[in-house]
Amino acid sequence: YPKQKIEVIKEDPKDNIFLECALEGSCDFIVTGDNHLLQLKEYKNIKIVKAEEFVTIL
């Protein structure tokens, strides 16, 4: 489990673990279909995108 707890997504707190893991892993992107995460668009320099968008970035 990640060391840092985040409570950014109040509507669905279970989604916060994806942000926690991305921060812990120094990720550049979170690729998801989850609307709660996608609404953020970016979190602490981590871009949050759909798979279709990520493919165009590659």
Annotate the chain with three-state secondary structure: CCCCCCCCCCCCHHHHHHHHHHHHCCCCEEECCCHHHHHHCEECCEEEECHHHHHHHC
3 occurs within a structural domain: no
Q: How confident is the model at residue 19 (pLDDT cuts 50, 70, 90)?
A: very high
Question: Strand pairing of 46-49 and 29-31?
Answer: parallel
- Whether the predicted pLDDT of 1 surpasses 90: no
Residue 11: Cβ within 10 Å count: 8
51 occurs within a structural domain: yes
- Whether the predicted pLDDT of 22 surpasses 90: yes
Instruction: Quote the CA–CA distance of 38 and 29 in Å, as a whole number.
Output: 11
What local confidence, expressed as pLDDT, does residue 15 receive? 98
6 occurs within a structural domain: no
8 occurs within a structural domain: no
Q: How confident is the model at residue 2 (pLDDT cuts 50, 70, 90)?
A: confident
5 occurs within a structural domain: no
- Domain span at 37: 13-57
